[in-house]
Amino acid sequence: NILRFVLHRYERATLGVLLGLLVAAPAGLYPFREGVKPQIGDVIKGETLTTQVLVDDVKPKDWQQRTFTPGAGQIGGSFGLVLIGLGATLTIDWVGRRKR
């Protein structure tokens, strides 16, 4: 296992890189964006949507984007998932240590 070898040989540097990845990952998500379903009269790819059929044919990847601020529930849910992940990691570590 490459990660085990690198962690054993270069522990501090490897942990620094892994921590950097964890800290930097949310930066790729900000600003938070979501697709806005088009409406009649919107211009998508240079074409004005004049009928509902044209609106329905627009693929979600072509929808316009808008930024949004996450609500308290979303932020709380995110922290909850982090705590669940931490708990799972600590449990796996605890079970692994008991078997030794």
Domain ranges of the chain: 1-30, 33-69, 70-100
Give the DSSP H or E segment for 36: strand 33-36
Query: Quick check: 32 and 67 in contact, CB under 8 A?
Result: yes
Q: What is the pLDDT along the chain (100 residues), one digit of tens a residue?
A: 898 899 999 999 999 999 999 888 887 788 889 999 999 999 999 999 999 999 999 999 999 999 999 999 999 999 999 999 999 999 999 998 887 7
Q: What confidence score (pLDDT) does residue 30 get?
A: 80
Distance (Å, whole) CA 89 – CA 79: 15
> pTM surpassing 0.75?
no
Phi-psi region of 45 (alpha: psi -120 to 50; beta: other; left: phi over 0): left
